[in-house]
Amino acid sequence: MLKISDFAQLSRISPKTLRLYDRLGLLKPATVDRQNNYRYYSASQLPRLNRILVFKELGFSLEQIGKLLDDNLSVSEIRGMFSGKQLEI
């Protein structure tokens, strides 16, 4: 397990951003210490974080990113979101 500060440094984003992603449900910590509420992340969470960062670079809002990360989203819905973003650009 990695402390939030270590995970942030490894992924080159701020702990504040990780807290925001947690609050929005985009990337929940692997575990939270019950005594001090300190967040811990796993290296296995890096691929999900990388997807979030790529979608963000492509100009998707955090709300849209949440939908893109939803496992229940169909391929046609994902294509529609990308087509809409392409038209927007």
Which CATH number does the domain housing residue 40 bear? 1.10.1660.10
**Domain tally for the chain?**
1
Residue 45 has pLDDT above 80, yes or no: yes
User: Which structural domain range is residue 47 located in?
Assistant: 2-88
Tell me the two tokens of residue 4.
């939030």
Burial class of residue 75 in the structure, from the number of CB atoms within 10 Å of its CB (0-12 exposed, 13-18 middle, 19+ buried)? exposed
The rounded distance, in Å, linking the Cα atoms of 79 and 67 is 12
Backbone angles phi, psi at 19, to 5 degrees: -65, -40
Residue 51 has pLDDT above 80, yes or no: yes
pLDDT value, residue 17: 97
pTM over 0.75, yes/no: yes
Residue 11 has pLDDT above 80, yes or no: yes
Cβ neighbour number for residue 72 with a 10 Å cutoff: 6
Residue 15 has pLDDT above 90, yes or no: yes
